[in-house]
Amino acid sequence: MKKTMFKNEVVKNLFNGGIYRNTNGIFNPSTNEEGLIKTSLMKGEIDKSKKEIYLRYEVLKETTDWVLKELKEMNHYYINILDEGDKKISEMILDELQDYTIITQRWFNGMIFQGVVEPKNKLENRWFN
């Protein structure tokens, strides 16, 4: 496998095998029980001809039950936790590959959620789902 060289360790790992987007430190507002969002390995794929980077992963059923229920009910607070993490990773990539559009595809509950971050030189670095 060809190793991709990046300065940022997260970005380097993303393209050289993948990273887990597991998220902990989420607390149920009623019970104060801590929750975890468990994911498959997020892998990065670069399409140099289109100047696009694809990041793909799945939210797994091993996620804490009450968090999984909130995500299935499309609770924006919990969806936003995932979106913000995806956006931070995209921004780390843009620090190294400024001219690329980053497309994150998150599979969950039989649906694909897609987020796009465009380069800073293209429409002021929009983030949208």
| Of residues 2 and 11, more confidently modeled | 11
pTM: 0.85
Cα-atom radius of gyration of the chain, to the nearest Å?
15
| Of residues 49 and 5, more confidently modeled | 49
User: Per-residue confidence at 1, pLDDT binned at 50, 70, 90?
Assistant: very low
Phi first, then psi, for residue 86 (nearest 5°) are -60, -40
By CB atoms closer than 10 A (0-12, 13-18, 19+), residue 42 is buried
What tokens were used for 17?
Answer: 């095998």
Distance (Å) of CA 85 to CA 1, 4, 45, 48, 50: 27, 22, 18, 24, 24
Q: Please state, in angstroms and rounded to a whole number, the distance separating the CA atoms of residues 71 and 110.
A: 12
Distance (Å) of CA 75 to CA 44, 66, 69: 27, 11, 9
List the domain boundaries for the chain. Answer: 9-128
Spatial strand order in the sheet of 127-128: 19-20, 41-47, 52-58, 101-108, 111-117, 127-128
| Of residues 98 and 126, more confidently modeled | 98
Residue pLDDT, tens place only, 17-46: 999 999 999 999 999 999 999 999 999 999
Residue pLDDT, tens place only, 48-95: 999 999 999 999 999 999 999 999 999 999 999 999 999 999 999 999
Token pair 């949208």 in the structure block, residue = 128
117: alpha, beta or left? (left if phi > 0; alpha if psi -120 to 50)? beta
